[in-house]
């Protein structure tokens, strides 16, 4: 097997090199290939990126933070202090072999991801420009928050289905719980879901900060996010808290410290100082204006009626259709899903509109590929079958294989269909308390029949436009045949 390793120690004189030697010898003994980067005082020669790419697993034997660890993103990783590698190199090699067999860490699939802290991934490409990195930071936060939205939101939706909307006023399950009572179970689900929802903003802020400043930034991020909730600064407050925490940590990292202190910086000093700074700023400086902003936004959304509401639905629909699960789509989705925490009628309408608008792109394309087979390649027609299911499940990514092959015709069609559906859903006053689930949560939706109608109309609009645009001058043979169906399966 091929391994790469990084060794480092506080003084950078002895253990770094001993560990490197021990690992190399252990690999030589077992007939494996091993390349070690010694991050010590004799200067370190960075490993060739190709060697890293070829490696089956990565070993960190380090007492101080590994420099540029994002280079090892997504690789199976074994890590320990530097001394362990000196005495137990062979053992670590076995662990690395096991890690390689177990495959890459969870979340490591993100292509530009950076594994840190045992495989937590970020979606940040460190070489990119500021705008791209900012997007990466925000998307990292969103990607970690979505499971919370799903768990909390679906539990709450289920509790309404079981217990009716009065479940909101049910007594605390700690005070009263009856194993045989459906109402008690509904109340339990509602309250568990509510607790999961309470984490939305702190987790969002925490992982935005994490994407920027790695593990030490998690604490100021989560704490700052929680303060944002406390001061009623909401989702926007959380975004700001996360970015602020990340920036503070990056700033502290710039301060040169003696090597002897470097070891405790990420564990003690950075979390302590950054949390204090972020806490002060969030409570007394940024908190009040952000709270006023959040209150204004909520009032504005609640005050929207008639035409304005429809326009909001159309805009969100355009966003949902634009990049099919990309940043714009996720921005609209986050806006809706995180808004659910407010539990206002307006937030439920927005959620319904966004979900409907996210379903029509794959559905519309699936319909088009059935109606006019000759306009689509064989591969696209196969994708069309999957697209029915993906669209119905509110997995907008199902449209990607079609859009990738012919973006200029497909994307405008998707946006138009989604805009129509988003606007109609708002106009019909459909509401959704569930953040996800597509067709499967329709029974939980307010005005379900009109909701299905809105989705149907958007689907037809998209299909009609795609067929019309493709009919102009295009034969399926020109199309990119090789877009694999698996891309469609990229879940949100």
Partner 1 sequence: MSEVITADLVDLDLKAADRQSASRQLAERLVAAGRVTDIEGFLADIAKRESQMPTGLEGGIGIPHCRSAHVAEPSLAFGRASEGVDFGAPDGPADIIFLIAAPEGGDASHMKILASLARRLIRAQFKERLRSVQDPAEAAEFIRSEVS
Binding site for partner 1 (CB under 8 A): 10-11, 13-18, 20-22, 25, 38, 40-43, 63, 83, 86-87, 259-260, 263
Instruction: Using the minimum distance from each CB to partner 1, give the nearer residue, 63 or 70.
Output: 63
Q: Please report where in the chains the tokens 């079609």 appear, as a residue.
A: 402
Contact 438, 394 (CB under 8 A): yes
Shorter beta-carbon distance to partner 1: residue 43 or 180: 43
Tell the smallest beta-carbon distance from residue 15 to partner 1 (Å): 7
Q: Helices in 255-342 by DSSP H: which ranges? A: 259-262, 270-280, 287-303, 306-323, 327-339
CB 37 to partner 1: min, Å: 13
- Distance between CA atoms of 366 and 459, rounded to whole angstroms? 9
- Shortest Å distance, C-beta 21 to partner 1: 4
Q: Which is nearer to partner 1, 87 or 407 (CB)?
A: 87
Least CB distance to partner 1 at residue 351 (A): 53
In the structure encoding, which two tokens stand for residue 332, read together?
A: 């609209």
Of 59 and 332, CB closest to partner 1? 59
Q: Given the complex with partner 1, which of 16 and 383 has the nearer CB atom?
A: 16
In angstroms, how far apart are the furthest CA atoms of the chain?
Answer: 75
Q: Indicate the residue among 40 and 105 with the shorter CB distance to partner 1.
A: 40
9 labelled catalytic = yes
Residue 273 CB, shortest distance to partner 1, in Å, is: 21
Closest CB to partner 1 among residues 20, 196: 20
Query: Are 357 and 457 within 8 A, CB to CB?
Result: no
How is 248-273 classified by DSSP, letter by letter?
HHHHHHHS---HHHHTTIIIIIHHHH
Residue environment code for 166-203, b if the CB has 16+ CB neighbours within 10 A, otherwise e = ebeebeebeeeeeeeeebbbbbbbbbbbbebbebbbbb
Euclidean distance between CA atoms 309 and 307, whole angstroms = 5
Beta-strand pair 33-38/77-80: unpaired
Pairing assessment for the beta strands 57-62 and 77-80 based on DSSP bridges: parallel
Shortest separation between residue 118's beta carbon and partner 1, angstroms:
22
Q: Positive or negative CA dihedral for 367, 439, 332, 349? A: positive
Query: Measured between alpha carbons, how far is 239 from 234 in angstroms, rounded to an integer?
Result: 9
Q: Which residue number, 28 or 102, has a Cβ lying nearer to partner 1?
A: 28
CA-atom Rg of the chain in angstroms: 26
Strand 33-38 vs strand 57-62: parallel, antiparallel, or unpaired? unpaired
- Among the listed residues 9, 52, 375, 461, the single catalytic one is 9
Shortest reach from residue 337's CB to partner 1, in Å = 47
- Shortest CB 254 distance to partner 1, Å: 20
- Distance from C-alpha of 35 to C-alpha of 20, rounded to nearest angstrom: 9
Give phi and psi for 8, each to the nearest 5. Answer: -160, 150
Give catalytic residues, as residue numbers: 9
């Amino acid at each position: 097997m091929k391994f790469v390793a990084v060794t480092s120690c506080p003084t950078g004189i002895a253990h770094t090199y001993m560990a490197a030697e021990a690992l190399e010898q252990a690999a030589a003994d077992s007939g494996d290939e091993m390349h070690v980067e010694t991050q010590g005082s004799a200067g370190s020669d960075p490993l060739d990126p190709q060697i890293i790419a070829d490696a089956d697993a990565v070993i960190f034997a380090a007492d101080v933070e590994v420099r540029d660890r994002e280079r090892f993103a997504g690789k199976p990783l074994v890590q320990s202090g530097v001394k362990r590698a000196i005495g137990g190199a062979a053992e670590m090699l076995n662990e690395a072999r096991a890690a390689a067999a177990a495959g890459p860490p969870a979340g490591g699939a993100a292509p530009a991801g950076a594994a840190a802290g045992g495989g937590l991934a970020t979606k940040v490409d460190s070489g990119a420009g500021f705008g791209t990195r900012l997007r990466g930071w925000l998307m990292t936060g969103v990607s970690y928050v979505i499971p919370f939205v799903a768990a909390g939101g679906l539990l709450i939706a289920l509790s309404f289905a079981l217990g009716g909307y009065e479940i909101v006023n049910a007594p605390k399950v700690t005070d009263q719980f009856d194993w045989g009572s459906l109402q008690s179970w509904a109340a339990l689900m509602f309250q568990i879901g509510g607790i999961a929802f309470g984490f939305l903003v702190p987790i969002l802020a925490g992982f935005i900060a994490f994407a920027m400043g790695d593990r030490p930034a998690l604490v100021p991020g989560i704490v700052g996010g929680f303060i944002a909730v406390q001061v009623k600064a909401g989702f926007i407050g959380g975004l700001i808290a996360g970015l602020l925490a990340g920036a503070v940590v990056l700033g502290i990292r710039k301060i040169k410290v003696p090597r002897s202190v470097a070891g405790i910086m990420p564990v003690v000093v950075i979390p302590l100082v950054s949390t204090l700074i972020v806490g002060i700023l969030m409570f007394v400086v940024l908190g009040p204006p952000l709270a006023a902003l959040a209150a204004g936004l909520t009032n504005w959304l609640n005050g929207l009626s008639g035409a304005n509401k429809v326009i909001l639905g159309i805009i969100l629909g355009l966003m949902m259709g634009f990049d099919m699960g990309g940043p714009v789509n996720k921005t609209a989705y986050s806006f809706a899903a995180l808004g659910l925490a407010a539990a206002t009628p307006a937030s439920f309408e927005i959620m319904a509109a966004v979900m409907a608008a996210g379903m029509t792109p794959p559905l519309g394309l699936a319909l088009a590929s059935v109606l006019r087979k000759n306009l689509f390649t064989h591969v696209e027609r196969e994708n069309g079958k999957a697209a029915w299911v993906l669209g119905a499940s509110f997995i907008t990514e199902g449209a990607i294989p079609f859009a990738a092959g012919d973006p200029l015709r497909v994307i405008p069609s998707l946006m138009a269909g989604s805009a129509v559906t988003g606007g109609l859903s708002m106009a019909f006053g459909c509401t959704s308390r569930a953040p996800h689930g597509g067709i499967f949560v329709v029974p939980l939706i307010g005005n379900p029949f009109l909701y299905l109608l809105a989705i149907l109309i958007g689907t037809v609009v998209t299909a009609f436009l795609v067929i019309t645009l493709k009919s102009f001058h295009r034969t399926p043979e020109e199309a990119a045949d090789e877009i694999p169906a698996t891309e469609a399966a990229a879940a949100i």
